[in-house]
Amino acid sequence: MFAPRFRLSAALVLALLPRGWCAAPPPSAEAVAKLPAAATRPVDFVRDIQPILEASCVKCHGRGKSKGDWRLDTRETFLQPGESGPALAAGGSAQSRLIHLVAGTDPDEIMPQKGTKLTAEQVGLLRAWVDQGLKWPAEITFAKPPDRNLRPRRPLLPAASAAQPLDALLDTYAGRHGASFPAVVDDRLFARRVWLDVVGLLPSPEDLMAFVADPAPDKRARLVRRLLADNPRYAQHWLTFWNDLLRNDYRGTGYIDGGRKQISTWLYAALRDNKPYDQFVRELVNPTEASEGFSRGIVWRGTVNASMTPSMQAAQNIGQVLMGVNLKCASCHDSFIDDWQLSDAYGLAGIYADEKLEMVLCDKPTGKFAPLKFLFPELGSVDASAPRTNRLEQLARIITGPDNGRLSRTVVNRLWARLLGRGLVEPLDVMQNEAWDPDLLDWLAEDLVAHRWDLKRTLELILTSRAYQLPAVSLPEKPDPAFVFHGPGIRRLTAEQFRDALGSVTGVWQDKPEGGLDALLVEPGAARPLPAEAFWIWSDPHGATGVAPGTNWFRRTLVLEAVPSEATLFAHADNSVRVFVNGARVRGAESSDWSRPGVYDVRKALKSGTNVVTLEAVNGGDEPNPAGVLAYLKLRTRQGEGERVWDVASDATWLATTNRVEATQESSAAVTWTSAHVLGPPGLGPWNIGEALAQSVAGRPVYGQVRASLTGADPLALALGRPNREQVTTVRQSTPTTIQALELTNGDTLSRLLQQGAERLVSTGADGPTLATRVFAQALSRPPTPRELSLAVELVGSQPRREGVEDLLWSVAMLPEFQLTF
Amino acid sequence: MNTRDFTRREFVQSLSAATLGALGAGYPRALLGNEPVESLPATADSVIVLWMGGGMAATETFDPKRFTPFEKGMNPNTVLSTFPSIPTSVDGIRFSEGLERLAQVMDRGTLIRSYTAGDLGFILHSRHQYHWHTGYAPPQSVACPHLGAVVARTLGPKNPAVPAFINIGQRLDVGEGEELKAFTTAGFLGSEFGPFNVAFPDAAKDVVTPPGGMSPSRFASRDKFYRELVEASPVGQLGSGYQKDSLLRSLDNANRLLSSSAAQAFDLSRETPETVAKYVPGGWDFSKRLGGDFTREGSYEKANIQRFGLGCLLARRLAEAGARYIEVTTEYIPFLNWDTHEHGHEKLANMKHAIDGAIAQLVLDLEERGMLDRTLIVVASEFSRDMMQEGKPDKPIKDQVPVPDKIESLTHYGMHRHFTDAGSVLLFGGGVKKGHLHGITADERPCKTLKDRVVIEDLHATIYRALGISPKLSYEIEKRPFYVTRDGVGQPISSLFAKPV
């Protein structure tokens, strides 16, 4: 039965012969004699042939490549002759050029040219395959796969479904996979999850109780909306996620000599204001001064490998973060693991380069230049002759344009993975892969675009879906290709969530923000009358109407019984001010805009006894113009539940001088100090900052209450998997390790934190049962069981001792129930 | 327990699920060309790298040239070495004055004089240190693992109660600390293989004993309470899974280390004062603590002489306890220690005093314990120095430090500039030849490599070869192979081994 089939394929070959090719001479009898014998058993394409073709042929003759003008994408192209004629001959495998090439009967012409030669057994299988009729299932192709997840696609929601859109889509999915979903988790578990996922914090016992007691049927959706609307807490949590993705950090390599730039203030403001994602991306791709750190990359002094120049870093990071495309291989050579080529990486990098970029192949200059293009040229072109700023504008337009369905899919997939422990597409950076439910992915992506790229809208959809509310399941560590969705994965708290959760339990937080975020963290409160009366002051009584440019110094002496627990100076200045306490400059978030206060943490500079606060204020410009400074020093000391107020503000008791003095000198007799002139109250024109000042002072304290995401990594954070952000990180390692457990068990950072926390808890005066109950309720979002309570009280004592409380805190923090999101 | 009898199989059995999970972080893989990665017979089981951070001048240490004593008004170009040379126990090999004890043990080791640092353009210490420790020049598109992390990942701990990779003597919050952190890491291999950092060897026992102020009995009762709490926790109702199990096991492992006898290896006060004095110039009083005004120049450099010796003593104790990879550094801080820009001559006398007895005694102690043959000691630095030449003769780099036409004071008498063409690496034990010299350098400026040039890929390949690791071994990251020597090109220098490899 084999022969007729063979004749059929041979006939096909002859029929397809084009004109013009140069047929190689037929093989000699000697060559034929050298051939390994054909296998005698029936061959199976999938089992026997496909692996040989994949391993030895496809790299050069498939996946878009056609060396020698011959492709084996499909059976049809296989049979089309290449440069040296048809692969097969009418005389069967013994006469076929393909077989002689892979058998190497002519030592000068052996295939494959690169890599390992085929074995005699493999040649025998190929011969049998040819002779048995070249069976090739039509669905198997070695062609370059079409770009997946690229074009926008809006699936229709199942008809006549009143359910939440994601539920409706997942119902269809479940039907297809014969899956059925269990009941959703209880209120307590849901609330804990949502709090951690939206704002990164544990709910307080009071918040939790109120939520559980609320009878409203839509309370879950309302909780989600309420938390999403808490802009500062939302920003402080999601900052971690985006810092990882955009490899932004407050410390790290490159900063030492200007080889790197932070985007912290830009990013924080973008998250707080929920900047539409398309605008967010435009500002990353075609940056402003505040956002350029992302595309500028990291530069160390010295020569840099061609694959890691700043413009290549920009190409890699834009590809990976925004488009789910890994260009790292293709930055040195055509990729071996996917279809990206060197010219793709250089085409994108060239858009960022100031000069034409010569392609360098594995450290060897090629003398060739790639045409400038985006990864998917069909989405739009970049004008290579345009100046760089215009090219970046064009690139930003292409990436955020309506034809690019990859940008939205990539980001919704990342959000889904963050909230449910596994992406719709895995790995998250290979968006060419198929989603486990393409309808769900595509619908979420299009919904994002349709709602002005509002990421909070996507989060709300996911958080209110039944999928998110299902009981957590243990997902395998490596994504399983045969994955079927049954529920969200059990997730571990991030380093930042872990630290902040301990902040909630102990009241001990990080001390100061980094990255110049101080001023952004001031959250105005409801304006109330100020404890101290503040005035605009200057050395000249006409400051408000206009005086000559120049510098004024102002000082005030301050006697303190003890250093306050909060000591924040707000300073409005027209035009700028520098702050000194006891002779030392205090750095803070400076402001050169009189409507916004500079914010300075002066706790560390103050001492008990006499202190001197000095302001060095500058009126800028070239001609007379309004000049004034207004300082408000908020000084508070916590006393039990209340606080003691020591506030001090600029007024006529401050001394002024226009003589240049060493502001660092505590007393300078040589200078004639006179009383400062009061210009008027905070509401005085042209400044009129009365309301703003009252709100700043009434706002939450900034210092001493700082979230982990706003500070550099400490050893505890590093041990718990916070990356050093030298590279883009899209998935953190969350597996517990022994080195990590050592840091948790006897590391200084945690040990100090727990000591302070225990001291605070003991100082509240609570008895053992009250204290233990409070710790459990805050840490685990549930009261202790009777057994737990009796164990805990036994440990801390009925009148709690610091050491016992410390050990209780440590033990609770190590519980899987605390560290994992079930 | 005799740690050396601990076999690989037992080790794997004793490993927690947590560790096995972490092992999955980078998967070993064969080369793309389908070549199998050979498994090689090892000549060493562990490595101790003694890191001369800051650029150790070869002409002032292991490759002395013509000595030119200080004279007011001398021409700097005439100065090649600022110390006379001394003989060693090997004919034909001379050291610089100040290394008398090391000179006596040269017959146990191999000296490479032709180490050539990478061409990285403008010379930044931390960038060259990154290159030396990972084999790759930063920046890189993946987080590159440190040499010690690769060894830890590939061979695992020798004794599961001792971290496989221990890094002694470098603080990471000083000077170019952020840059140092970039390579003092297991990178993509995962933190399980990362360094266990011990900045102050005198206080090493603190890192493996219960946290500050906690008595052993309280530590034990905390652990007991924790176990009871886990037992009583209703979390069981929420199901288990590897996340929960691995968390519990990792804490078990840490607890085991903290309670094990291996932890005593970290306690230097168990050594006799006589032994300590052999490593530490002037001995050490363990009631004192390094720290305080330690960072101030002067007092820092004085204290640091003793700190390196304590580090070497700790390395010996940890090697005995079964550590796999140990690094002891003289500590890199810009403009201190080997980073000799001014007063080079005086500072080098100090540094040689710090290392001479410490390294020699480490060699002798390991030999006496029968461990030297299976422990490879590597003394190395990121590059060498010269008085005049910055970079290499054929690739000069912009001078970083001005050198006056005439030297009027000791300020400018010494090696100011970074020289990359010839540096010294000293090897002891671990199967390398005894009393052997590799590489020839020019006797006149520029004192460049003339023969048998050694680059980092080959030096790493040699270290890996001694440990039985192929230089072509790779780990998978983002589906790409990451080779333990750059692109798998490293070639072991077979002539350095006592027996053919």
For residue A721, the chain B residues in CB contact (below 8 A) are 191
Residue B210 pLDDT: 84
For residue A478, the chain B residues in CB contact (below 8 A) are 24
Nearest CA in chain A to B180: A253
B31 pLDDT tier (thresholds 50, 70, 90): very low
Q: What is the DSSP letter of A465?
A: S
Please give the full DSSP string across A328-347, using - where no structure is assigned.
TGGGTSS-SSSS--HHHHHH
Q: For chain B, how far is it from start to end, CA to CA, in angstroms?
A: 32
Nearest CA in chain B to A741: B251
Nearest CA in chain A to B136: A305
**Region of poorest pLDDT, from A380-394, B181-195, B388-402:** B388-402
DSSP element (H, E) containing B277: helix B273-279
Give the nearest partner residue to B32 out of A336, A785, A807, using CB atoms: A336
The residues, any chain, with a CB within 8 Å of residue A411's CB and separated by 6 or more, are: A277, A322, A448, A455, A458
**SS3 for B129?**
helix
CB atoms B192 and A328 under 8 Å: no
Q: In angstroms, what CA-CA distances link B235 with A772, A809, B243, B253?
A: 18, 18, 13, 22
Judged against a pLDDT cut of 80, whether residue B22 lies above it is answered with no
**SS3 for A657?**
strand
Residue B441 pLDDT: 97
CB atoms B226 and A329 under 8 Å: no
**pLDDT for A228-284, tens place per residue?**
999 999 999 999 999 999 999 999 998 988 899 999 999 999 999 999 999 999 999
Structure tokens at A616: 């060095």
Chain B: closest CA distance from residue A424 (Å): 18
Chain A: closest CA distance from residue B87 (Å): 39
CB atoms B191 and A718 under 8 Å: yes
Judged against a pLDDT cut of 70, whether residue A663 lies above it is answered with no
Residue A66 pLDDT: 75
CB B85 within 8 A of CB B67: yes
Give the nearest partner residue to B141 out of A316, A429, A795, using CB atoms: A316
How many C-beta atoms surround the C-beta of residue A691 within 10 A? 12
A335 pLDDT tier (thresholds 50, 70, 90): confident
Residue B293 burial (CB < 10 Å; 0-12/13-18/19+)? exposed
B366 pLDDT tier (thresholds 50, 70, 90): very high
Judged against a pLDDT cut of 60, whether residue B17 lies above it is answered with no
Helices (H), A363-453: 388-399, 406-420, 438-450
A802: left (phi over 0), alpha (psi -120 to 50) or beta: alpha
Judged against a pLDDT cut of 60, whether residue A591 lies above it is answered with yes
Judged against a pLDDT cut of 80, whether residue A608 lies above it is answered with yes
The rounded percent of chain B whose pLDDT value lies above 70 is 89
Residue A651 pLDDT: 95
Nearest CA in chain A to B238: A822
For residue A725, the chain B residues in CB contact (below 8 A) are none
**Region of poorest pLDDT, from A241-245, A615-619, B358-362:** A615-619
The residues, any chain, with a CB within 8 Å of residue B168's CB and separated by 6 or more, are: B198, B201, B204, B311, B314, B315, B326, B327, B328, B329
CB atoms B254 and A742 under 8 Å: yes
B253 pLDDT tier (thresholds 50, 70, 90): confident
Report yes or no: A712 at the B interface, CB cutoff 8 Å. no
Judged against a pLDDT cut of 90, whether residue A814 lies above it is answered with yes
Q: What is the rounded CA–CA span in Å between residue A393 and residue A396?
A: 5
Average pLDDT over residues B467-495: 93
CB atoms B127 and A301 under 8 Å: yes
The most confident of A546-555, B53-62, B263-272, by mean pLDDT? B53-62
Residue B259 pLDDT: 80
Judged against a pLDDT cut of 80, whether residue A655 lies above it is answered with yes
Q: What is the rounded CA–CA span in Å between residue A89 and residue A673?
A: 106
For residue B127, the chain A residues in CB contact (below 8 A) are 300-302
Q: Which residue has the higher pLDDT, A685 or A349?
A: A349
Tell me the one-letter amino acid at A561. Answer: E
Judged against a pLDDT cut of 50, whether residue B461 lies above it is answered with yes
Judged against a pLDDT cut of 90, whether residue B96 lies above it is answered with yes
Nearest CA in chain B to A787: B232
Q: Which residue has the higher pLDDT, B243 or A730?
A: A730
Chain A: closest CA distance from residue B233 (Å): 8
Q: What is the rounded CA–CA span in Å between residue A411 and residue B215?
A: 50
B480 pLDDT tier (thresholds 50, 70, 90): confident
Residue A280 pLDDT: 98
Q: Find, among B146, B190, B241, the residue nearest to B22 by Cα.
A: B190
Judged against a pLDDT cut of 90, whether residue A123 lies above it is answered with no
**pLDDT for B175-189, tens place per residue?**
889 999 999 999 999
Judged against a pLDDT cut of 90, whether residue B93 lies above it is answered with yes
For residue B121, the chain A residues in CB contact (below 8 A) are 301-304
**pLDDT for A59-68, tens place per residue?**
788 877 777 8
B26 pLDDT tier (thresholds 50, 70, 90): low
Parallel/antiparallel/unpaired status of strands B423-428 and B375-380: antiparallel
Residue A27 pLDDT: 80
The rounded percent of chain A whose pLDDT value lies above 90 is 66
Q: What is the rounded CA–CA span in Å between residue B237 and residue A799?
A: 32
CB A508 within 8 A of CB A757: yes
Judged against a pLDDT cut of 90, whether residue A609 lies above it is answered with yes
Q: Which residues pair with A680 in a beta bridge?
A: A536
The most confident of A101-115, A333-347, A409-423, A717-731, by mean pLDDT? A409-423
Chain B: closest CA distance from residue A59 (Å): 12
pLDDT averaged over every residue in chain A: 90
Judged against a pLDDT cut of 60, whether residue B18 lies above it is answered with no
Nearest CA in chain A to B487: A362
Residue B143 pLDDT: 92
A667 pLDDT tier (thresholds 50, 70, 90): low
Judged against a pLDDT cut of 60, whether residue B79 lies above it is answered with yes
Place of tokens 């070639």: B491
Distance of alpha carbon B243 from the chain centroid? 34
Structure tokens at B33: 């060309």
The three state secondary structure string of B301-340 is: HHHHHHHHHHHHHHHHHHHHHCCCEEEEECCCCCCCCCCC
**pLDDT for B194-203, tens place per residue?**
899 999 998 8
Cis peptide before A112 (omega within 30 of 0): yes
Residue A98 pLDDT: 83
Report yes or no: A576 at the B interface, CB cutoff 8 Å. no
**SS3 for A636?**
strand
Report yes or no: A221 at the B interface, CB cutoff 8 Å. no
Residue A496 pLDDT: 98
**pLDDT for B142-191, tens place per residue?**
999 999 999 999 999 998 888 999 999 999 888 889 999 999 999 999 88
Chain B: closest CA distance from residue A486 (Å): 15
Average pLDDT over residues B463-468: 97
The rounded percent of chain B whose pLDDT value lies above 90 is 65
Report yes or no: A310 at the B interface, CB cutoff 8 Å. no
Place of tokens 């053919």: B500
Structure tokens at A362: 């594995």
A10 pLDDT tier (thresholds 50, 70, 90): very low
Q: What is the rounded CA–CA span in Å between residue A536 and residue A631?
A: 8
Q: Which residue has the higher pLDDT, A54 or A263?
A: A263
Residue B21 pLDDT: 37
Please give the full DSSP string across A223-247, using - where no structure is assigned.
HHHHHHT-HHHHHHHHHHHHHHHTT
CB atoms B141 and A740 under 8 Å: no
CB atoms B25 and A733 under 8 Å: yes
CB atoms A474 and B182 under 8 Å: no
Parallel/antiparallel/unpaired status of strands A364-369 and A358-361: antiparallel
B27 pLDDT tier (thresholds 50, 70, 90): low
CB A465 within 8 A of CB A457: no
Report yes or no: A814 at the B interface, CB cutoff 8 Å. yes
A810 pLDDT tier (thresholds 50, 70, 90): very high
**Chain A (461-490) residues lying within 8 Å, Cβ to Cβ, of chain B:** 471-474, 477-478, 490
Residue B23 pLDDT: 39
CB atoms A477 and B244 under 8 Å: no
Judged against a pLDDT cut of 80, whether residue B331 lies above it is answered with yes
